[in-house]
């Protein structure tokens, strides 16, 4: 077996150049929590691997952050922030970012864990706090929704179209044998959702 030396040199040189070429810089996310493996996994599962993650208080090579993420916001922190107060280093930094006009995203609001046990007016108070905080720029994290959605049921109703629209779907891919009700077809037309059948 003979090896073409010139081709071997070209292959090695190409691989070396590829490894020397700097990777494209990724956006940095500041996680407004101390570094913890479970928190890191929760954040990465929510946002994906397309970011460089930095945790509050760590030295970081990032000079600017594209997103600010609060993994969990407890009821006490919500109450304080809703009236413009903050306790502790992390919540003080959250408030500072809001005052600077930056959006802060929350993965989980702690009051929701009490939905089955909290008295109605108390639960409503925290729902109101969430709306107030959204006005300040502190909002619930929204996973990006796909523009196309596959639906494997045989009957497509107006309700199915409505749920697809709520998710931001622009195309609903259905089974070839699926039946589409007249109301569903009308709703899809009004909501600019294309219904296509798979082959």
- Residue 81 tokens, joined: 């922030």
51: helix, strand or coil: strand
- Residue pair 29/66 in contact by the 8 Å Cβ criterion: yes
For residue 77, the surrounding DSSP H or E stretch is helix 75-82
Question: For position 23, what pLDDT does the model report?
Answer: 55
- Residue pair 153/160 in contact by the 8 Å Cβ criterion: yes
The Cα–Cα gap between 112 and 185 comes to 36
The mean pLDDT value of the chain amounts to: 87
For residue 96, the surrounding DSSP H or E stretch is helix 89-99
CATH number for the region 27-140 comes to: 3.40.50
- Residue 23 φ/ψ, nearest 5 degrees: -70, 150
Q: Would you say residue 2 has pLDDT above 70?
A: no
Q: Dump pLDDT digits (tens) for 116-152.
A: 999 999 999 999 999 999 999 999 998 766 678 888 8
Sequence-distant (6+) residues with CB within 8 A of 4 are none
Per-residue confidence band for 82, with pLDDT thresholds at 50, 70 and 90: very high
The Cα–Cα gap between 167 and 175 comes to 20
Question: For position 145, what pLDDT does the model report?
Answer: 64
Q: Dump pLDDT digits (tens) for 178-195.
A: 999 999 999 999 999 999
Spell out the domain ranges in the chain.
Answer: 27-140, 148-197
DSSP string, 9-20: HHHHHHHHHHHH
The Cα–Cα gap between 106 and 131 comes to 13
Q: What is the pTM of this model?
A: 0.62
Q: Would you say residue 199 has pLDDT above 60?
A: no
Comparison of pLDDT for 90 and 10, the residue scoring more: 90
């Amino acid at each position: 077996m003979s090896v073409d030396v010139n081709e071997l040199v070209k292959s090695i040189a190409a691989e070396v150049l590829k490894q020397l070429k700097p990777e494209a810089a990724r956006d940095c996310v500041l996680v407004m929590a101390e570094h913890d493996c479970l928190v890191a996994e929760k954040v990465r599962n929510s946002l994906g691997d397309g970011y460089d993650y930095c945790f509050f208080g760590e030295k970081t090579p990032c000079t600017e952050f594209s997103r600010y993420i609060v993994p969990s916001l407890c009821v006490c922190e919500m109450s304080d922030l809703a009236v413009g107060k903050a306790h502790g280093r992390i919540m003080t930094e959250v408030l500072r970012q809001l005052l600077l006009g930056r959006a802060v995203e929350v993965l989980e609001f702690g009051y929701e864990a009490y939905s089955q046990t909290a008295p109605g007016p108390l639960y409503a108070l925290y729902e109101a706090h969430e709306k107030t905080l959204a006005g300040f720029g502190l909002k619930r994290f929204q996973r990006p929704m796909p523009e196309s959605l596959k639906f494997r049921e045989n009957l497509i109703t107006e309700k199915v179209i409505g749920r697809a629209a709520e998710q931001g779907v622009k195309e609903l891919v259905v089974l070839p044998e699926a039946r589409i009700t007249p109301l569903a077809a009308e709703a899809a037309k009004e909501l600019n959702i294309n219904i296509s059948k798979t082959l």
